[in-house]
Structure 1
Amino acid sequence: MAYSSDEIIKREILDTLGHETKGIKLRIFPQSSNEDQKPFSEGGLTFGFEGVSYGSCDAAWYVDEKWVDGLNGKEINKKPVIALEGTDALSRNSAGNALYQRFHHALGGVKNGIVGVYYLKKGTQKIQPDLFGMAYFASKVEKGRYLVIDDLSVVKDLLDCYHDPVVFSAYVDAYLEKMYEIFNAKFQQFYNGDWKEFAKKRSTIIKDDYVIKYAGRSRRNFTDGSQRAGHIAVGEMFLTKYYFYDKKFYYLFPKMTREDIEMLDKNKNTDKEWFLLRNEPNVFIKTIDDIDGVDKNIKKKLLQIKDEPLKGDAFTTFNAYTKEIVSKLESGEYRIKE
């Protein structure tokens, strides 16, 4: 019998770490269950902040102390100290930005001041160095710390030293520096250590006080569940947000209109990915209608392919006219409307 990714991860957690370590208790639902969808303060494994849920985790460790849930403001006598989301995607031919898709699950814990852990079980693929960078920079600005790991011994070490705050903090800081070294090695190799080079290769425009990430998303990407484009869009959103954590972030979809956004807001308000895109602090979704000064012909050409997949002639059209938009946004001839 083939086990699902969740089952594999949960079995390994129980086999490796057990139910309790030095008074720190494990909450996990080994069998298929919807209990993890409940907020942590209501017996589940979902973390969030200020009414925004970031998704359920596979496991969390807690101590018997008072804690206020940042998602709903509820006070309980169980304080989570580690929130873990795991996957064996590295053994399932998943690579590239597919690995970003579950980044936000443990992020909810990080926003609550907890140590968030994204565990990618070792497999045939390698962890994308981008993930280490995303988590490292998130740790710079959020209340908690975010670790990306491929070995549960890191969690064991954290549990073993948790009751000594100095040692615990030093361990986390040292691990974060290791993560940065991995990220930076790739950044030097692929982008020559230059953010301008990164911008060219990663569909990004960097300004003094804001950054623009542009992508060929369409309304259908968010209404057709088979495309899973919402997951990819969220992953790319968090990558850009945390790489440029000190800037305002405009997420530009030049194939979409304000009317598309309004329709999605109305009809997809319970969709987890769309809700995150629309409610993440300092992230602003923008469309062709939000580009001040855009040429009418450019707008017309892009809207003619607004519902078409980006391949063939549609791909050529998108690239040609988006290139012109990008050039003029970079020069200042076009601007993003507030």
Structure 2
Amino acid sequence: MKNRFSWLKSMFWDDLHCFVAVANAGTLSGGAKRLGMSTATIGRRINSLESVLGIRLVDKSPTGVQLTNNGTKILTLANAGARQIDEVQRIAASLRMADWPEPIRISATEPIVSGILAPQIAQLFRMDPTVRVDLRSATENARLISREADLAIRLSQPKGDSLVARRLATLTMSLYAARGYLRGRNPRAIDLSEERLVAFNESYGEIPEIKWISDMGLESRVVFTTSSTGALIEAVRAGVGIGLLPDMFTREFEDIERVTLRLLLPTRTPWLLVHRDLRAVKQLRTVRRWIVQAFEGAQGEDRKPRHATTRP
């Protein structure tokens, strides 16, 4: 029974496609020519559609076809459906050719877009001069399933069978303070329970930085919170307090330094996501390889610290 209804649905869409072609061409012969079939066949298709719907869609005459009132209403809906079907066929054809017809949309947080991907975008075009990309900074998770993005970088491990996830280079973090804030004090002798702290707020949930501050019993020392990595860095630079910051986003600032205490600090693990159905697209594979290299390159720079960090 299921196969029978699948067959009927396929026949209905074929008939609807014929109706759209004839209505837009104005004649049976014109519609038949567009679809590469005979006038008699396309006439039978429209008769079949009218029978299924139970309404007359066109009035036929020697000079062409005229849409009925019902036919005009159905055409409005059918045109939209036909365009979507054409889009599906176009995308499918592109996938078969291992090509991608649109800019590849990459969704990530603003610090990753501006601090990791954008500085290394030239390398991507050396890998594939024909590629087109759209870097999108997002505070919320773009949905790959509904094609809000083609690739996404997330700072938490994804769930779901429809996505393929690859772990990227780990983001290390350190405590930082402005030289003006330290006022010549030895950064190795700092007692955080007596210092002002700046931190991320809970916009992204209980991220490792927030959990670390809580586990250390330092919530009462936090005087400033924000959801913005840039704002947090600027607060540290301004001497508001000591902040736990991702190393790869701080290397350009010479007015702050690491506070190297004997503490085990948290890390962040980014994940590169792609929909399972798009794994074989050649250009997406190239972009995915570039993103992996961009993270590895950015992390490599952080292995050249301004001050060595002591770990137990």
Same fold (TM over 0.5): no
Give the TM bin, normalised by the shorter chain: under 0.3
Task: Report the TM-score, using the length of structure 1 for normalisation.
Answer: 0.21
- Structure showing greater radius of gyration is 2
Task: Report the TM-score, using the length of structure 2 for normalisation.
Answer: 0.23
Bigger relative CO (Cα 8 Å, ≥ 6 apart): 2
